[in-house]
Structure 1
Amino acid sequence: MIAQEQNEGVESNEQEDLTNKTIDTLEIDLNNDLTEEHEEEAPDVDYSQLSKEQLIKLLENDLEALRKDDVKPALFKKADAVVREIRAVVDQWKQRDRETALKAFIQDTGGEEGFEFKYDAEIQKIDALGREVRGLKNGYYQKQEKDKEKNFTVKTNLLQRLRLLLEAEEGRETDASGLKSSWEEFKKIQDEWKNAGNIASPHNGTLWATYNALIDRYFSNRNIYFELKELDRRRNADLKAELCEKVEELGKSLASRPMTREILNEANHIFEDYKHIGPAPKEDQEKLWQRFKLALDVLYDAQRGQFAEQKKSMQENYEQKLKIYEEIVPFTSFNSGSIKEWNAKTKEIMAFQDQWVALKGIMPREEGKDLSKKFWGALKTFFNNKGEFFRQLESKREQNLELKNQLCAEAEAILESGEDNPSNTQKIIELQKKWKGIGQVPEKFKDTIYDRFKQACDAYFDQKRSKNKEVEKEFEDNLRKKTDLIERIELAAKDKDESTLNLLSAFKSEWSSIGFVPKKDMQAIQKRYIAAINTYVSAIGQLSSKEKEAAVLESEVELVRDGENSRGLYRKESDIRRKLTQLENDIALWQNNIEFFAKSKTSDRLKAEFDRKINNALAQVEDLKHQLAIIQEAI
């Protein structure tokens, strides 16, 4: 305010001040254009690369910035553009989620009738945040328009007051007291004009021209204060030189820190102060302006260079992701009848997906959108093909369930007949063989159907045992034979030099040749047998730990194929699946946590620790899958 008062002190002649006014007006117009030109430059962002949580965080940050008191119109324009970009991405997600839900509904019900779909909480949150951004933007511009109308009235009244002041000055002789009061009123009008905000652009030029013309008239009536005006201009020159130094210091600071929006905002605030300082002496006016403009150009040149580096990085990221996309294109035509091959291909394509996600940088907007659409489309095609394979596999398991239900019914019918003759015994044995030849059933029926069949078979043989003591005697003999065999295995395990796979196979063959044992001793003898085999396998020096584990597991498989200990192996399969699920969940969680670590020494140590955990877990997953494959061969 002091600088403005000095700027409008005493004018010597009308032509001189009109020239100064023209220079100041050109400064304002030039720098407004310069500011708008630089603010339009901003790097494009591919919001389809961001997760829902990241989009929510982005919108929440924008809302927080928009609620500040000193928010600028450019920030509202940027936030509105972000909302439009995000809405396009969210619309694609909505369409995809609804199509997926509708497809599942049709598969379950056979038609679309009664279908209802509700978007998930993240989608709804993004929509709500977008509406809130739009509401703040609309409210801001509505308030601006109202303020402009109010400011137009205020400035019009100020012009009228300035005219009345001039008429009073020109219509009477002014003494020292009159000059002072007139000057105070003039400065008050100037201060109120400066504090009044913007008005509608169609009126801005007219009002400024009228205001400057009246100012010129006022100063031309106060030639007696010419020396004061010169002093004021020299002081203005000092103030402008100080502002030049501030902007130059900002430029020098770029040597130790990156260019940011905050630096530009600070420079623009300084520029606003520069514009409101009055004219300097004519010989310094243009020099100061060129100096200030040069300092400002240094900042904007740095911003342009930063944008160029960003564009280069975006292009490099695009080329890397293009290579990944080209790698997965052949997967879209993959076909196989093997679960193992499908799982192997899934592991390969998921590795490519991980590479894609790991490339966090943005791509050129249009090319990036197109490439992302093709990449995720290729993944969708592969998993749709895989889903179709497993749907057909599930259909086969349903057929197996029907066949096993028929076997259960036949076994139950034989049991209900109450006859345990050799013919019925042979039928039960044949049913058990057929059962082993039928493949897997749906997971949810696996235990119940097996328990039903086993209960019928066990009941038949229990009935038979109760009627035939000789069979019980045979079972007791078999128990003694198996006990003797176990003791020989345990003894052989003590001589590591004589322990071989061939001898192990001989022990297994002998065990398989021995018949059933009494039911009460079945679990104990089986447990002791597995323990003896485990001890013997451990004594075979030429086998790795994995081969030893596989040998023991194969012994358990053979027990199942011989109709013994199958319930225990089913429990083992269930335990392995549970461990696999837990490990896979842990791996996914650890991999997700790694993405949020900052680039610091502490986070590097944490990341290394998580990498070690992930590698150990992956090794355990491979071992468990190997065990599961062996068990599934027998079930």
Structure 2
Amino acid sequence: MVNEEANEIKQQQAANPQEEIDATTAQVLELAENTEAETTDVHTVDYSTFQKNDFVELLSKLLDDVKEQPSVAAFRKSEDVLKEVRPLFEQFKTAERAEALAKFKEANDGSEDGFEFKFDETIEKFDKLFKALKEERAKYFNQIEKERDKNFSQKTELLNRLRAIVEGEDNTDPAQIKAGFAEFKKIQDEWKSAGNINSPHNNTLWQTYHALVDRFYSNRSIYFELLELDRKRNLQHKIELCSKIEKIAEAAKSDTVTGKVLDEAVAIFEEYKHIGPAPKEENELIWTRVKEALDVIYGKRREQLETQKAESEQVYTLKSSIAELVETFANFTTESISEWNERTKALLALQDQWNNVKGFMPKEKGKELSDKFWGNIKAFFKNKGEFFRQLEGKREENLKAKVAIIEQVEALLTSGDDSQDATNSVIQLQKAFREVGHVPEKDKDNIYERFKKACDSFFDAKRAKNQNIEKEFEANLAKKVALCEQIEAEAVEGADTSKLAEFKAQWASIGFVPKKDMQSIGKRYISAINKYVSAMGKLSGKEREQLALQTEVDILKSRGDFSPRELGKKENDIRRKIQQIENDISLYKNNLEFFAKSKNADKLRVDVEAKIKKAEQDLAHFKHQLKVIREAEK
């Protein structure tokens, strides 16, 4: 009878072989590792745009996270982040030290002797956080190692105690059998509470433990009834745990299997593994139920991972197409500010498209693509910054050149010299000022106002000292009026071509007129010349237009207030008017097409056609003015 019961115990133990449990455990751990890897690869952050304070906040948050919820995954994530951000932060430190050294050398004739440098509070805080993260990690893994060593020592001691019971117990002494059984149950409880050890010895410990347990039960013929009762209790416990796993499996059919759900299933299965033997037939049935439920959970999880993989490939494909477009910007260069601005708008639009593609990419190639994408953007803005730095340098040179011209005018003003030579010098300086290129935007208005004030002051002072000049200006005005009357009188059909140059020479030889009459007499002269040119029969229309244009340019250049800034403002105003008129004409023409399809719209059509004619006349007038200004700017 004793031998039969012993055989039954061995058969029931074989019904739940350790090899099958260990295989399932390996499956659980493998999927958990995949889940952990996937979980850690959820965000790709571009740290290249971070400032020092951003890095400090990042490390502070990492430190809080690992302190609040320390885990292998948390420390692995923190280590990955540290590896990525440390080189970037070191660039700040290197740059600041290099900048401080450069300033020190500049102040000390290029010598580095005595140079000392201390990083600012932000960098020191970063280094402290970095060190704290490393210390937390070392402390955590040292604790794990100590726990492993402790668990190994504890399980080894339990095996020695169990072996002492199995090998040293007297099966004929009921008191000793009872005491040994109590000690055995105590060892079982302590074995269950002892943590796992991830080492090559783990499997050996388990095999030794189960072998000793089998031997113990084989030697306990008198306690088979207690063993059977224990099996029934084990069965009841396994049924309860099986029901929990089946409930999770049922929910997994319709819900998402998150990492938390999977961890819960793994924890229940770990508890199931540590329950002792159950009756053979029931044990096989309950084990089948557990395995089927786990298969449902793991199957659903694998489906989710496959779906996520397909989605990540789709995201990668979309972002690859955007990255290819951005790649063309990396080596872009031009001398035009407007082209830089247009390309910048286009690049920012592509960046918005990239950011609007939601979802994750495959870890390795996704990181490579992201690095390439942001690297090309950085290259574009680096080239743009270099262009504007050079442009700003040129404008600074122009500013110095204009300041030097202004100082010459101011020096003539201070000297009180109002001779013709001084006047000619100021006029030449005005011309030189106009020929100098643009200055920094912030100085443009101030430098022009200073120049204009100096020139105005010079000529005002000259006028104040020479009141008789005004009379001369009035006389000049009378001469120019007489010349205009002569030109107008001789502007008849077949006018002499050779006299045109004579008229222009006479006009040029006449000096300044009062400022208030400059524009009116200039317009009359232009009108007279145009009338005379029209009367010249031997010229083509294009030649007449060119002569008229040159006349207007001569008048414009003869004015004392001529300047590139004023021409630029006038040119911009005319361009805006031309644009507005062209838009109006386009709108009027669209209205005409609408009226053509409408009945009783004749009056409206006539009004619109009149507006178009007037607008076209205005357009021709402003385009002519634009030609004059362009010719004057040459």
Q: TM-score if structure 1 supplies the norm length?
A: 0.62
Alpha-carbon contact 1:12-1:223 (below 8 Å) kept = no
Report matched runs for 1:390-469 at 5 Å. 390-421=388-419, 424-443=422-441, 445-446=443-444, 449-464=447-462, 466-467=464-465
Distance 1:334 1:155, change over 3 A: closer
Distance 1:561 1:353, change over 3 A: farther
Distance 1:198 1:456, change over 3 A: same
Query: How far apart are residue 404 of structure 1 and its match?
Result: 1.0
2: distance between equivalents of 1:374 and 1:278?
57
**For each residue in 1:61-80, what CA deviation from the matched residue of structure 2 results, as whole angstroms up to 9, or x when unmatched?**
665554457x6xxx41x334
Q: Which residue of 1 aligns with 2:29?
A: 36
Give the residue type in structure 2 aligned to 1:242. E
Q: Which residue of 1 aligns with 2:240?
A: 242
Alpha-carbon contact 1:342-1:386 (below 8 Å) kept = yes
Report matched runs for 1:168-567 at 5 Å. 169-170=169-170, 172-174=172-174, 180-199=178-197, 201-255=199-253, 257-421=255-419, 424-443=422-441, 445-446=443-444, 449-464=447-462, 466-467=464-465, 515=515
**For each residue in 1:444-475, what CA deviation from the matched residue of structure 2 results, as whole angstroms up to 9, or x when unmatched?**
65455445434433432443454456889999
Give the residue type in structure 2 aligned to 1:32. T
Give 1 or 2 for the bigger CA radius of gyration: 2
2: distance between equivalents of 1:90 and 1:433?
56
2: distance between equivalents of 1:124 and 1:21?
62
2: distance between equivalents of 1:162 and 1:350?
72
Distance 1:375 1:215, change over 3 A: closer
1: distance between equivalents of 2:561 and 2:254?
74
2: distance between equivalents of 1:17 and 1:59?
57
Report matched runs for 1:44-59 at 5 Å. 44-45=41-42, 47-49=44-46, 52=50
Distance 1:265 1:56, change over 3 A: farther
Q: TM-score if structure 2 supplies the norm length?
A: 0.62
Alpha-carbon contact 1:244-1:292 (below 8 Å) kept = yes
Q: Percent of pairs identical after alignment?
A: 43
1: distance between equivalents of 2:340 and 2:269?
65
Distance 1:104 1:392, change over 3 A: farther
Q: Which residue of 1 aligns with 2:158?
A: 158
Distance 1:261 1:58, change over 3 A: farther
Distance 1:415 1:342, change over 3 A: same
Alpha-carbon contact 1:11-1:222 (below 8 Å) kept = no
Alpha-carbon contact 1:98-1:117 (below 8 Å) kept = no
Alpha-carbon contact 1:233-1:278 (below 8 Å) kept = yes
Report matched runs for 1:91-170 at 5 Å. 93-94=88-89, 132-166=132-166, 169-170=169-170
- The gaps in structure 1 that reach 5 residues or longer are 1-9, 476-512, 518-558, 570-633
2: distance between equivalents of 1:295 and 1:126?
49
1: distance between equivalents of 2:183 and 2:396?
96
2: distance between equivalents of 1:268 and 1:88?
32
Alpha-carbon contact 1:24-1:279 (below 8 Å) kept = no
| CA RMSD after TM alignment | 4.6
2: distance between equivalents of 1:560 and 1:312?
75
Query: How far apart are residue 283 of structure 1 and its match?
Result: 0.7
2: distance between equivalents of 1:560 and 1:87?
68
Report matched runs for 1:67-82 at 5 Å. 67=67, 75-76=71-72, 78-82=73-77
Kindly tell me the number of residue pairs found equivalent between the two proteins: 475
1: distance between equivalents of 2:560 and 2:21?
91
2: distance between equivalents of 1:283 and 1:227?
18
2: distance between equivalents of 1:55 and 1:360?
25
1: distance between equivalents of 2:137 and 2:102?
44
Distance 1:330 1:183, change over 3 A: closer
2: distance between equivalents of 1:186 and 1:234?
18
Indicate the SS of the match to 2:515.
coil
Query: How far apart are residue 272 of structure 1 and its match?
Result: 1.9
Alpha-carbon contact 2:395-2:439 (below 8 Å) kept = yes
Distance 1:157 1:348, change over 3 A: closer
2: distance between equivalents of 1:196 and 1:395?
73
Distance 1:451 1:426, change over 3 A: same
Alpha-carbon contact 1:47-1:85 (below 8 Å) kept = no
1: distance between equivalents of 2:118 and 2:371?
24
Give the residue type in structure 1 aligned to 2:44. Y
Q: Which residue of 2 aligns with 1:504?
A: none
2: distance between equivalents of 1:112 and 1:250?
73
1: distance between equivalents of 2:98 and 2:356?
31
Q: Which residue of 2 aligns with 1:86?
A: 81
Q: Which residue of 1 aligns with 2:492?
A: none
Alpha-carbon contact 2:253-2:300 (below 8 Å) kept = no
**For each residue in 1:569-609, what CA deviation from the matched residue of structure 2 results, as whole angstroms up to 9, or x when unmatched?**
9xxxxxxxxxxxxxxxxxxxxxxxxxxxxxxxxxxxxxxxx
2: distance between equivalents of 1:102 and 1:19?
76
Alpha-carbon contact 1:13-1:219 (below 8 Å) kept = no
Alpha-carbon contact 2:65-2:74 (below 8 Å) kept = no
Distance 1:268 1:214, change over 3 A: same
Distance 1:284 1:369, change over 3 A: same
1: distance between equivalents of 2:10 and 2:122?
61
**RCO (CA 8 Å, sep 6+): is it higher in 1 or 2?**
1
Indicate the SS of the match to 1:40.
helix
Q: Which residue of 1 aligns with 2:612?
A: none
Q: Which residue of 2 aligns with 1:580?
A: none
Distance 1:384 1:204, change over 3 A: closer
Query: How far apart are residue 281 of structure 1 and its match?
Result: 0.9
Distance 1:218 1:131, change over 3 A: same
Query: How far apart are residue 430 of structure 1 and its match?
Result: 4.4
Give the residue type in structure 2 aligned to 1:420. D
Distance 1:11 1:211, change over 3 A: farther
Alpha-carbon contact 1:408-1:452 (below 8 Å) kept = yes
Give the residue type in structure 1 aligned to 2:240. E
